[in-house]
Amino acid sequence: MNYRIEKDSIGEVRVDADHLWGAQSQRSLENFRIGQEKMPEEVISALVLLKKACALVNHDLGKLSGEKKELIVAACDDILTGKYPDEFPLVVWQTGSGTQSNMNVNEVISHICLKKVHPNDDVNMSQSSNDTFPTAMHMAALLAITNRLLPALDAIIREFKRLEEENEGLIKSGRTHLMDATPLSFSQELSGYRSSLEADREMICDSLKYISRLAIGGTAVGTGINSPKDFDILTCRKLSELTGLSFVPDENKFHGLTSRDSLVFAHGSLKALAGDLMKIANDIRWMASGPRCGLGEITIPANEPGSSIMPGKVNPTQCEALTMVAVQVMGNDAAIGFAASQGNFELNVFAPVIAYNFLQSVRLLAEGINSFRLNCLSGLKANREAMEGYLHRSLMSVTALSPAIGYEKAAEVAHLAHENDLTLKQAVLQLGYLSEEEFDRLMDYRKMI
C-alpha cells in the first residue's frame, strides 16, 4: 500500500495515498476502532452543504477570496453528487463533539482542491466543530424528516383513506381488553388508525420549528469568537436558499452548543409515531390471524413462506418488521434522552450518538412505513363472512337493550346466553323481557355505530 505523509499540530502521520483525508481523519481511524457504525451519510452531506454555505458567506463578507470560494463550492458540489463515497470512514464512537468528522470533511475538501485551500483556515473559516456539528445534526434531521418521513406518512394515510372507502358500511364486533365489545364499522376502526398517523404527523411538524434553529456562529463556546458579525444570520439565509427549507440562528448560542433539547423533543414525536405504528401493526396481525384457528377477519398478502418445517404456513412478516422498527425507535429515544442530559459547561459531548440514533429512527420509520404500506396494506382485504359471524355471536350487543330493560336485566340476558350457548334473542325471549318485535327493533346494528 502506498502512503503519503500528512501533518497536523501533533506531528506527522502516514495516510493511504489512495484516499483524500488528512492527518486528523487518519488519527481518528487509528484511535477509534470501535464498532461498525459509521457517521451517518446525512450528517456528512449536511456538513458539506454547510461548508458550501459558509464559503459563500465568508466571500460575501470579504474574508475569503473568490478563487478559494469557487474551489470549495465546486468540491462540495462534487461530494454532494456522490463523487467521493469512500472518503468519510469515521465511526460514530469518536470524540463527543464530532470534531473528527468535521475535520474529515474539511480535509477531504482541501485535498479535492489540491490543497489550494487550508482545511482549518479556509474550509473551516468562521466556524468551530462545536457549532458546525450541532448545526449539521439539525440540518440532517430536518432534511430527513421533510424529504423521507413525511412523504411516507402521507402515502400511508392515503392508503388508509382508500381502505376506509373500500369497506364503507361493513359492520363488525368491537373489542376492548381483547374481549367482545359493542359494534362499530370496519371503516371507523380504520379511521382511528388514520387519525393517529395524522396526529403524529402534526406533532412531528410542530417539532421542526425547534430543529430549524442552528448553532452556527457560536464557534467554540457560544461567544462567536473568530466569526464575523451577522455570519449566523447570513449562513442560515444561504442554507435556506440552498435547501428550500427555513433555517434561523439559535438566538442563544450558549444554548445552541450545549443543549440538545430540540432533538429530544422532536424524537419524542417519532416515538409517538412508533407507538401508534406498533398498535396498528399488532391489530392487523391479530385480525389476520388464522387462517383457521385465529380471528381471520382480514386477509393480508402472502409474501413469502413462513416456516422451514411447516409446509404452507404464511406469517404476518410486514407487521413483525414494523413492530421491530417501533421497538428500535423506542430504544433510540432512551439513548437520545440520556445523551442529551450529558456534557459539561459549554458543550454537549454526546453529539455523534444522538445524530446516529435520531437519523436511524427517521430512516427506519420511513422505510418501515413504506414497506408495510406496499407489501401489506395495499393487499389487505376484509373477510366479510367472518366479521358478520362474530358480530352476530357477540354478546355485547346486549348494550343496545339496556335503555329498554335496564343494565341488570341486560347483564342477565348476556350471562344466560353465554352459559347456555343461546343467541341474545333466544335468551331475552326466554326471560320474557322483550317481545320478538321489540328485540328486532332494538337490535339494529346500524343504529349502534
Tally: H helices and E strands in the chain: 18, 8
Asked if residues 15 and 22 have their Cβ atoms less than 8 Å apart, the reply is yes
Separation CA 354–CA 348 (nearest Å):
10
Active site residue 307: yes
Q: What are phi and psi of 75, to 5 degrees?
A: -65, -45
Separation CA 444–CA 449 (nearest Å):
10
Q: Which of 65, 195, 246, 307 is labelled catalytic? A: 307
SS3 state at 44: helix
- Burial tier of 436 (Cβ tally within 10 Å: 0-12, 13-18, 19+): exposed
Separation CA 280–CA 43 (nearest Å):
31
* Side chain identity at residue 382, one-letter code: A
CB neighbour list of residue 441: distance below 8 Å, 6 or more residues apart: none
Q: What are phi and psi of 267, to 5 degrees?
A: -70, -25
Rg (CA), the chain: 30
C-alpha cell at 98: 464530532
The dihedral region occupied by 346, where left means phi > 0, alpha psi between -120 and 50, and beta the remainder, is: alpha
Q: How far is CA 340 from CA 94, 196, 298, in A?
A: 16, 28, 43
* Side chain identity at residue 122, one-letter code: D
Q: What's the gap between Cα 357 and its chain centre?
A: 10
Active site residue 267: no
Element (H, E) at 429: helix 424-431
Separation CA 304–CA 447 (nearest Å):
41
Could you give the angle at the alpha carbon of 363 between the alpha carbons of 28 and 302, nearest 5°? 135
- Burial tier of 389 (Cβ tally within 10 Å: 0-12, 13-18, 19+): middle
Length of the chain: 449
Catalytic center residues: 177, 307
